[in-house]
Amino acid sequence: MTALRERFGLRIESLLQLFVFFLTALVWVGLAIFAPRFLTAHNITNILRQVSIVSVIAFGELFAIIIAGIDLSVGSLAALSGVVLAATVAAGAPLAFSILAGLAVGAAVGLVNGIGTFRLGIPAFIITLAGLEAYRGVALLVSGGLSIANLPPGFADFGSSVTLDVPNLFIVTLVVGLVADFVLRRTRTGRYLYAIGSSEEAARRAGISVGAVTILAYVVSGVLAGLGGELLVARLAVGSPTAAMGYELQAIAAAVVGGASLFGGRGSIFGTFIGALLFATIANGANLLGIDPFWEMVAEGVLIAFVVYIDNVQKKRYAGG
**Boundaries of every domain in the chain:** 2-318
Among the listed ranges 110-114, 226-230, 254-258, which one has the minimum average pLDDT value?
Answer: 254-258
CA 300, CA 279: separation in Å to the nearest integer?
A: 7
Q: Is the CB of residue 216 less than 8 Å from the CB of residue 189?
A: yes
14, pLDDT greater than 60: yes
Percent of the chain's residues with pLDDT above 90 = 77
**Cα-flanking dihedrals φ and ψ of residue 239, to 5°?**
-100, 110
254, pLDDT greater than 90: yes
Using 50, 70 and 90 to split pLDDT, how confident is the model at 293? confident
39, pLDDT greater than 70: yes
Query: Which of 13-22, 29-38, 219-228, 296-305 ranks highest by mean pLDDT?
Result: 219-228
5, pLDDT greater than 60: no
The residues near 59 (Cβ < 8 Å, ≥ 6 apart) are: 176, 177, 180, 224, 269, 272, 273
222, pLDDT greater than 50: yes
For residue 7, the model assigns a pLDDT of: 53
Q: Is the CB of residue 258 less than 8 Å from the CB of residue 268?
A: yes
237, pLDDT greater than 60: yes
Using 50, 70 and 90 to split pLDDT, how confident is the model at 2? very low
Among the listed ranges 235-239, 248-252, 275-279, 300-304, which one has the minimum average pLDDT value?
Answer: 300-304
For 153-190, how does the pLDDT look when each residue is reduced to its tens digit (9 = 90+)?
888 889 989 999 999 999 999 999 999 999 999 999 99
Using 50, 70 and 90 to split pLDDT, how confident is the model at 4? very low
The pTM of the full predicted model, rounded to 2 decimals, is 0.93
Nearest alpha carbon to residue 81 among 64, 95, 69, 99 = 99
206, pLDDT greater than 50: yes
Higher per-residue confidence, 32 vs 294:
32
State the average pLDDT over residues 122-126: 96
For 61-111, how does the pLDDT look when each residue is reduced to its tens digit (9 = 90+)?
999 999 999 999 999 999 999 999 999 999 999 999 999 999 999 999 999
314, pLDDT greater than 70: no
Q: Is the CB of residue 307 less than 8 Å from the CB of residue 16?
A: yes
Q: Across all residues in the chain, what is the average pLDDT?
A: 91
Q: Could you say which architecture CATH assigns to the domain 2-318?
A: Orthogonal Bundle (1.10)
Query: Which segments of 119-244 does DSSP mark as H helices, in order?
Result: 124-143, 153-160, 168-186, 188-198, 200-205, 210-236
Percent of the chain's residues with pLDDT above 70 = 93
State the average pLDDT over residues 40-44: 94
For residue 86, the model assigns a pLDDT of: 95
CA 75, CA 244: separation in Å to the nearest integer?
A: 5
Element spanning 12, H or E: helix 2-34
For residue 151, the model assigns a pLDDT of: 87
For residue 317, the model assigns a pLDDT of: 63
- Evaluated on CA atoms 93, 97, 103, 109, the torsion sign reads negative
For residue 318, the model assigns a pLDDT of: 57
Q: Is the CB of residue 259 less than 8 Å from the CB of residue 267?
A: yes
